[in-house]
Amino acid sequence: MPAVSDRPIASGAAPLRHDWTRSEVEALLALPFTELLFRAASVHRERFDPAEVQVSTLLSVKTGGCPEDCAYCPQAQRYDTGVDAQKLMDTSDVVASARRARDAGASRFCMGAAWRSPKDRDIPKVAAMIREVKALGLETCATLGMLTAPQAAALRDAGLDYYNHNLDTDPEYYGDIIHTRGMQDRLDTLAHVRDTGMKTCCGGIVGMGETRRQRAGLLQLLATLPAHPDSVPINRLVQVAGTPLHGTVELDPFEFVRTIAVARITMPASMVRLSAGREQMSDELQALCFAAGANSIFHGDRLLTTGNPDTARDRALFERLGLRPMAVPVDAAGHDHPATVHADITAAPARTAAA
Ligand code: SAM
Ligand code: DTB
Ligand code: SF4
């Protein structure tokens, strides 16, 4: 079943494909840069207004102490990164943070937990957070690790709109990065999420020392899932001292833009999110990413444990580039008659979105 998009589609828009081969994706990545950008920008316009960018805010509701060994992650207990383990936040604090994020222009609020998977006893607490954040009129997203089918159903029943669970890298490279869970575990969780009818948010990380062929493998796997993920976060590795990937040779910025462009071409109806790593990017590099079809960002001074561009810098960038935050459907808050409200980060007061 193709990814659902209820936006008007330009007549002549190419249908979604789920049969991409690795060599096709590699060939796209290898196009002359200008040609690749032209193709991606053309696909972008078939289904989206290229001036609109969806704005999400992240909050780490349970930080650090994770038993997994993801080689990039500052929250893995086994690496000495200076991130202390904390307990699950109180719902009232999460809701206060979500309200600030909404007032600062976010349309989606994503709650992240440094868990391998939630325990069944955690689910009612997370469900309460989801219900209250949704009642603020925000779309809700959570990323809590692996889920069982009943856990996914319970989150859906609480009103969760999106579940984020990344494939992270090519299956060929995966074993170099993570040993405590397999790719199949990730695919199983995504299947449970899809089966509930929730939207999926699924992408990966580049700049971990993978080859272009392996970047093609990640994109191919994402674009050949039973449904294209509704959101595709493309993270550029944030190198954190103490993690095994600290000191990895940096990815050529143009190669990052190529990855964004090919995600846009292969998953035309998805939100392609310019995700972790923006703080280290110049405004010009981000502008190239938007030109290549990225149409979603995390807004707010922090990601989970690492930094993000401060909100004033994002507002100035939107202003300079003539970008507008994408509207959130009012029925995200459970209203009967869908209409839209415009979030406006350019008019937001200067305060943090996810303090
Ligand atoms: N613990 C849950 C899990 O891994 O499924 C959810 C939170 S986890 C931090 C969410 C995602 O953040 C990871 O899958 C990875 O793609 C991304 N991430 C974590 N550390 C990162 C880093 N240093 N640079 C870029 N992306 C990172
Ligand atoms: C995603 O793909 N990227 C976000 C979100 N999903 C949860 C997380 C990025 C985390 C970057 C490292 C940190 O801040 O700890
Ligand atoms: Fe744990 Fe998620 Fe970090 Fe992996 S990415 S160590 S599962 S918090």
What pLDDT score does 348 carry?
A: 41
The model's pLDDT over 312-331, given as tens digits with 9 standing for 90+, comes to: 999 999 999 999 998 865 44
- Closest ligand to Cα 193: 1
In tens, the pLDDT along 48-82 reads 999 999 999 999 999 999 999 999 999 999 999 99
For ligand 3, is residue 70 a contact (CB within 6 Å)? Answer: yes
Most confidently modeled of 4-13, 37-46, 102-111?
37-46
**Ligand at shortest distance from the CA of 77:** 3
Whole-angstrom distance, CA of residue 110 vs CA of residue 128: 14
Span 230-276, pLDDT tens digits = 999 999 999 999 999 999 999 999 999 999 999 999 999 999 999 99
Residue 66 in contact with ligand 3 by CB distance below 6 A = yes
pLDDT at 181 over 90: yes
The string of pLDDT tens digits covering residues 8-38 is: 666 678 899 999 999 999 999 999 999 999 9
How many whole angstroms from 272 Cα to the centroid of ligand 2?
Answer: 15
Q: Decide: 109 and 139 in contact? Cβ < 8 Å.
A: yes
Confidence of residue 7 (pLDDT cuts 50, 70, 90): low
- Give the 3-state secondary structure of the chain: CCCCCCCCCCCCCCCCCCCCCHHHHHHHHCCCHHHHHHHHHHHHHHHCCCCEEEEEEEEEEECCCECCCCCCCCCECCCCCCCCCCCCCCHHHHHHHHHHHHHCCCCEEEEEECCCCCCHHHHHHHHHHHHHHHHCCCEEEEECCCCCHHHHHHHHHHCCCEEECCCECCHHHHHHHCCCCCHHHHHHHHHHHHHHCCEEECCEEECCCCCHHHHHHHHHHHHCCCCCCCEEEEEECCCCCCCCCCCCCCCCHHHHHHHHHHHHHHCCCCEEEECCCHHHCCHHHHHHHHHCCCCEEECCCECCCCECCCHHHHHHHHHHHCCEECCEEHHHHCCCCCCEECCCHHHCCCCCCCC
Nearest 5°: phi and psi at 61? -90, -15
Active centre residues (catalytic)? 66, 70, 73, 110, 141, 201, 273
Mean pLDDT, rounded, for 197-219: 98
Tell me the whole-structure pTM to 2 decimals.
0.92
